[in-house]
Structure 1
């Protein structure tokens, strides 16, 4: 009887706590649904890892990731309200900002590792191509994911640095995953490829002839996460929570390269050989402003950006229009 009474007492003692927990769950605020436009390349591995690890859900964010071909359509998606946030190369963001679009970076996205010949981004040719260096791309067809953007400027800079004529390149737009086959089939003479497409190209016999990001600026900030300044004004708390989750994701990715390799295989189709051989970038939480200034000058020189972007207003941590 004593054992029975003790058990009943223990159960009764747990009931208030259980009721309280149930009430707390019922009263908990629902997670905020957030859509982010991304590109299915190694660059966005941190945000996929962050979603897996709960860095967003722990901050009350129900994250949805939507793949696009390049930064330009993602900028349009954010400005139209299709996405709350987006991932875009910095050329697209600077061009949009220079044109008066209300875009604002909220976190760094990805940075070149700065290693010539061993960066995650490169200009590649087929193994049978007679092209030996970037100077020979004048008059040739070069694949990039989107026209009049980061690929154009950085490829031209590699050609310029090698002593060639960058004005004579014919750029061809195509998705990154289509580029290895285009090189093998002779549809294009060269391609700007980033991981995991770079390793796919190399495993199929392709050759690197230049590291275009390294040729453009040391430790170049390549892309960033951004939003519309209207969202910052309307919901600064959401922007703050999203930025904190991204920063945690970037730090985690930098410290766990093997998990990066694994997660890339969840949103792209890659072989084990490619997964193991991928060249990884770096994911610092800070933007390299000097590299953006350099890139902006080159983009303006190449006619990709009209007008000078206001980096004070565009970069994270500064109020819009300051």
Structure 2
């Protein structure tokens, strides 16, 4: 099985291009409390430091130990695969992968030096950067497949819901895992592009594992849901009404790996080594999809029938500032950011 080729990067027909003429929503949203709290904790950690911490001492065999904060989701499979394949050891690193609930916990841990590196979705990183946190992206995390009808994220509803396309989500309740983030901005974008009114969508915060049952029972009208829970929902009778990631842009960057400016300043060699190994891991993961799917068993518990059927994200080692800008523009359009975000501040 060969690696999937990258989708067309042209954005002339993307949802974002269509939505720019629609203007911003009247009701602006506030910065998510979790991100604001993380920013406060991280800034406190920075201000309380007496100076840059010393570079990590070499571990067994002369390897430099580093800790990476990750989330137990399919998106981080490449870094687990890279450790398994020895790519990080080849670069002189002894990597510990530390599982966390999400970026709200990982960001302050990276800024304080508890973790050398971390993983988070791009919108959360943009929010943290706008709050003044000294973060730098080192490599992409994962991207949409770019294929409508075959992606790892979609909005689903039951067949009798009366929701046939994204426009019908206006006036409905739609579950997202976190309010004011990549989920509701991309869903809002596809609603407006389909001729609906995104300001009339009622977003409800809910964990991904709870969404299939909530949709089936009618607790919510629809849900924006990611794999493996997307496959669970489809197997329970739900139907996709929008492939919001792929419809917003076929090259949409979802998440990224990052470090702190302090880490770069104190130990640039380790940052370079980690970045090189991670990029090799991302390329290997895309070129060996069966191994990437298999490595999920090392850190997640997914029903084998679901794991075999679900769609995996796309992985690439290439980082493009335009990918960050796309989500920054969507965030500003839909009220997450009250002013334009300087995305260059996050670039290495």
Normalising to structure 2: TM-score of the pair? 0.78
Q: Superposition pairs for residues 126-205 of structure 1, below 5 Å?
A: 126-205=158-237
Separation in 2 of the partners of 1:310 and 1:280? Answer: 31
Deviates more, 1:290-299 or 1:109-118: 290-299
Alignment match of 1:38 (pick from 65, 70, 74): 70
**Residue of structure 2 in register with 1:282 after alignment:** 314
1:264-299 Cα offsets, whole Å, 9 max, x none, are 233222222212212122211112332322221110
Distance 1:29 1:113, change over 3 A: same
How far the C-alpha of 1:120 sits from its partner, in A, is 1.4
Residues 1:255 and 2:287 are matched in the alignment: yes
Instruction: Tell me how large the CA RMSD over aligned residues is.
Output: 2.1
Note if 1:58 corresponds to 2:90. yes
Using the TM superposition, give the Cα deviation of residue 217 of structure 1 relative to its aligned residue in structure 2, in angstroms: 2.1
Deviation at 1:72, TM superposition (A): 3.6
Unaligned runs of 5+ in 2: 1-57
- Cα deviation for residue 205 of structure 1 reads 1.7
Is the 8 Å Cα contact of residues 140 and 317 (structure 2) preserved in structure 1?
Answer: yes
Change (3 A) 1:73 1:144: farther
Residue 226 of structure 2 corresponds to residue 211 of structure 1 = no
Matched residues in 2 for 1:192 and 1:173: separation? Answer: 10
Question: For 2:177 and 2:306, how far apart are their aligned partners in 1?
Answer: 20
Residue 113 of structure 2 contacts residue 263 of structure 2 at CA under 8 Å; is this kept in 1? no
| Partner Cα distance (2:261, 2:115) in 1 | 13
What secondary structure is seen at the aligned counterpart in 2 of 1:308?
A: coil
What secondary structure does 1:146 align onto? coil
Give me the whole-angstrom Cα distance separating, in 1, the residues matched to 2:126 and 2:59. 43
Alignment partner of 1:110 is 2:142: yes
How far 1:147 moved relative to its partner? 1.7
Note closer, same or farther for the CA distance 1:241–1:308 as it changes in structure 2 (3 Å cut): same
Counterpart residue number, 2:255:
223
**1:305 corresponds to which residue?**
337
User: 2:71 aligned with 1:71, yes or no?
Assistant: no
State how far apart, in whole Å, the 1-side matches of 2:254 and 2:211 are: 20
Q: Which moved more, 1:288-297 or 1:219-228?
A: 288-297
Bigger CA radius of gyration: 1
Q: Is the 8 A contact 1:117 1:211 kept in 2?
A: yes
Provide the aligned length of Structure 1 versus Structure 2.
291
- Structure 1 residues 36 and 127: alpha-carbon distance in aligned structure 2, compared to 1, 3 A threshold: farther
Offset of 1:127 from its aligned partner? 4.5
Q: Could you tell me whether the CA contact under 8 Å between 1:98 and 1:307 is conserved in 2?
A: no
Cα deviation code 1:86-144 (max 9, x no counterpart): 11111111122122211100111111111112111111123443321111222322222
2:210 and 2:63 map into 1 onto residues whose CA distance is: 37
Q: Which residue of structure 1 aligns with residue 132 of structure 2? A: 100
- Asked if the contact 2:65–2:93 (Cα under 8 Å) also holds between the matched residues in 1, the reply is yes
* Structure 1 residues 186 and 62, CA gap change in structure 2 (3 angstroms): farther
Deviation at 1:155, TM superposition (A): 0.9
Find the aligned partners of 1:126 and 1:103 in 2 and give their Cα distance.
41
**2: CA distance, partners of 1:113 / 1:297:** 21
Cα deviation, residue 258, structure 1 = 0.7
Deviation at 1:226, TM superposition (A): 0.3
Structure 2 residue matching 1:56: 3-state secondary structure: helix
Instruction: Report the Cα distance in structure 1 between the residues aligned to 2:233 and 2:278, rounded to whole angstroms.
Output: 30
Structure 1: gaps (5+ residues):
1-25, 317-322
